[in-house]
Amino acid sequence: MIRGQPYIDLHMHSRYSDDGEFTPEQLVEECQAAGLRIMAITDHNCAKANAAGERAAAQAGIEYISGIEIDCTYQGVNLHLLGYGIDYRDSVFTQIEENIARQNEAAADQRLKLINELGFRVTAEELEAISANDYWPKNWTGEKFAEIILNKPEYFDHELLKPYRPGGERSDNPFVNFYWDYCAQGKPCYVKITYPALEEIIPIIHTTGGKAVLAHPGINLANHPHLLAEIVQLGLDGIEVGSSYHRPETTAHFYQQALAHGLLLTGGSDYHGTTKPAIRLGEYVRPLPEKEIAAGLEAAGLLSRS
Q: How confident is the model over 227-274, as pLDDT tens digits?
A: 999 999 999 999 999 999 999 999 999 999 999 999 999 999 999 998
Domain stops at, among 148, 183, 218? 183
Range of the domain at 165: 107-183
Tell me the whole-structure pTM to 2 decimals: 0.91
Classify residue 1: in a domain, yes or no: no
Phi, psi of 68 (to 5 degrees): -160, 155
Q: What is the pLDDT of residue 50?
A: 98
Which residue type sits at 120? F
The 3 state secondary structure assigned to 22-48 is CCHHHHHHHHHHHCCCEECCCCECCCC
Classify residue 3: in a domain, yes or no: no
**Predicted confidence (pLDDT) at residue 168 exceeds the cutoff of 50:** yes
Q: What is the pLDDT of residue 58?
A: 97
Classify residue 219: in a domain, yes or no: yes
Domain stops at, among 183, 210, 240? 183
Q: What is the pLDDT of residue 269?
A: 96
pLDDT tier for residue 276 given thresholds of 50, 70 and 90: confident
Q: Looking at the structure, do residues 79 and 218 belong to the same domain, yes or no? A: yes
Q: Looking at the structure, do residues 128 and 86 belong to the same domain, yes or no? A: no
In the predicted model, what is the mean pLDDT of the chain? 94
Average pLDDT over residues 196-209: 98
Strand partners, 106: none
Lowest-confidence range among 5-9, 205-209, 262-266? 5-9
What CATH number is given to the structural domain containing 214? 3.20.20.140
Classify residue 190: in a domain, yes or no: no
Q: Looking at the structure, do residues 258 and 167 belong to the same domain, yes or no? A: no
Average pLDDT over residues 54-69: 98
Q: How confident is the model over 85-99, as pLDDT tens digits?
A: 999 999 999 999 999
Q: Looking at the structure, do residues 286 and 158 belong to the same domain, yes or no? A: no
Q: Could you give the C-alpha distances from 91 to 19, 52, 68, 173, 203, in angstroms and in order?
A: 23, 17, 14, 35, 15
**Predicted confidence (pLDDT) at residue 288 exceeds the cutoff of 90:** no
pLDDT tier for residue 2 given thresholds of 50, 70 and 90: very low
Q: Looking at the structure, do residues 215 and 91 belong to the same domain, yes or no? A: yes
Count of domains observed in the chain: 2
Q: What is the pLDDT of residue 141?
A: 93
Q: What is the pLDDT of residue 237?
A: 98
**Predicted confidence (pLDDT) at residue 210 exceeds the cutoff of 90:** yes
Q: Looking at the structure, do residues 83 and 156 belong to the same domain, yes or no? A: no
**Predicted confidence (pLDDT) at residue 116 exceeds the cutoff of 60:** yes
Q: Looking at the structure, do residues 282 and 204 belong to the same domain, yes or no? A: yes
